[in-house]
Every structure is written in structure tokens, then in C-alpha cells.
Amino acid sequence: MDINYSKYFSSLYIDYYYGSYTNCGPNWRENNILCPFCKIYYITDGECEIKIEGTVYQGFKGRMFFIPSQTKHSFYHVNENYITKYWLHFEIKAWDDQLFKNLGLPYYIDVKEDEQIISHFADIFKEAKENTLASAFRLKAGILSLLSDYIALADQKNISIREETHSEFYSVISYINDNLQNKLSLDGLSERMHMHPNYFIRLFKNRMGTTPLNYINKLRMERAKSLLENTSLPISEIMIQVGFEDLSSFSNFFKHYSGYNPKIFRKTFGK
């Protein structure tokens, strides 16, 4: 039966966080993380392993990974042949927040001819540095082009949309994502699910692999990093956008999670 895919993309939303072309050193390692954004890695040299939802995949030259948001994964080197990679962190929503997790895309593809892939990354990084209306359109178009090529190179027979019914729970996830600037309490979130807070915490941790508070803090951290790196907004405005009213509290929070204070992070990584 033919599927009308267009209906799933009528409310498409894309938000670029950050990305780069990086030679990863010996400290490139994280275990069992659950990111609130999507990731794409394209490895151009070296060797590594990436563990996604309990399965270990080999990473090497020519292999490209797509890790949907809220997917538990680990990454690490296997020897001193450290990888060099293009990488991209971004948010994409369509139909519901879980579309790209339910799409059945493979976690990796092998790229034989990479000229166009590299061109997409270069375009994305170029437009991310600009601050014009045209570049904002081209940035989103670049992410879509990269994803389109990934899907085209994947095994089309195994790609289908699984319409899972977790709408009530994922409406809370959407609410968190859309209200980072507001106070988000455990009592308020559990009330939206008509649950006791303790039961809500257990459900959340079972579904997301982490507690509601850790998820919110991680999302706020990544949003703040993106705004510091890719915009010239005052730190006082960024603080408000991620739910803080006091600059000292925001600075302590940011340094706790990133190792930098906000000013140093912007000076070091800002575009």
C-alpha cells in the first residue's frame, strides 16, 4: 500500500544547534547518554565504536551515523587511531516528536561517494555563521538535504513509519521542550499526566532513561550552548530563554554542566 508521506511533514520544525569538522582526541568518550537532540556523524578517518540502544556498531572512514533524539548511546575510541568526523547536532520535529525514532531509519549507512555529503556539511556550517534571513532558510534547507541523502542511501525497504500510541506521555515531552523559559516542576508535569509524582518519575525514567530533572537540565544546557555559540544574544537574554532569573545561578549551572562559564564558552566556541 502506498503511503502518503506528505501528511507527516505538514508541521515540520528544524532547529540547528551546532556542528563542526573535528579530529577527536583520546578523551572523546561518553557512556549511556540520552540527548534531547538528533546527531549525525560522518567519519572521514580513524576507528571507533558507537553503541546505540545496546548494540555496538563499528565506526570507520565512510560510515555515517544518524542518532535520533532521546536515543541512549555511547561512543569511544578502540585504539589510538582517533577518528576525524563531520558532526551535527540539531532538532527536527514532524507529526510528533518521535517521528524520526519511529521511522525505522538505520543507525548508519556506508557512503561510497562523499563529495555531495561533504558539500552539505560545508553549506550548513557556512550558513550557521551568517545572520540573515536568506541564510536562515538555507541552513534549514541544508539539514533537510543532508537527511534526504541519508534516507536515499539507506535501505528503503526497511523504512516505514510506525504510528505508536504514546501521545499522552510525549505531549509532556513536547511541553518541556516548548517551555524551557518557564518554571517546570515535578508536581506540574506529573499533574499533566494525572499521576502521582513518584509514579511519573518511574515512568519517565523507564521511557527516557533518565529522570525528568536531568532531562530538563540537559535540554536547557544544550539550548544555552547553542544560543551562546550561534547567536549574539546577551547572556542575560539567553539566561531567561532557558528558565533562569538570576545570572549567578545560570553561570553556576552552566559551569557545572560544561566546565566553562558562559562568557568563556562563547569566547572559545562562538561563531
Residue 220 confidence (pLDDT) above 80: yes
Mean per-residue pLDDT, 104-133: 92
- Please report where in the chains the cell 526497511 appears, as a residue: 158
Let me know whether 173 and 49 are in one domain: no
Contact 229, 269 (CB under 8 A): yes
If one counts the domains in the chain, the total is 2
Contact 39, 65 (CB under 8 A): yes
Let me know whether 112 and 21 are in one domain: yes
How does residue 157 score in pLDDT terms, banded at 50, 70 and 90?
Answer: low
Number of neighbouring beta carbons within 10 Å of residue 226: 20
Let me know whether 93 and 183 are in one domain: no
CATH number, residue 205: 1.10.10.60
Instruction: Report the pLDDT value the prediction gives residue 1, as an integer from 0 to 100.
Output: 46
Mind listing the pLDDT tens digit for each residue in 15-50? Answer: 898 899 999 999 899 888 877 789 999 999 999 999
Query: At 167, phi and psi to the nearest 5?
Result: -60, -40
Surface-to-core class of residue 152, CB atoms within 10 Å of its CB (0-12 exposed, 13-18 middle, 19+ buried)? exposed
For the chain, the helix, strand and coil percentages under 3-state DSSP, each to the nearest 5: 45, 25, 30
Domain end residue (candidates: 158, 187, 211): 158
Full-model pTM: 0.73
The H or E element spanning position 262 is helix 262-269
Tell me, yes or no, whether 123 lies in a domain.
yes
Buried b (16+ CB within 10 A) or exposed e, 179-208: ebeeebebeebbeebebebeebbebbeeeb
135 contact partners, CB below 8 Å, separation of at least 6: 127
Tell me, yes or no, whether 1 lies in a domain.
no
Rounded to whole angstroms, what are the CA distances from 189 to 173, 199, 200, 228? 9, 12, 8, 28
pLDDT averaged over every residue in the chain: 86
Structural domain for 202, as ranges: 167-269
Let me know whether 29 and 104 are in one domain: yes
Residue 110 confidence (pLDDT) above 80: yes
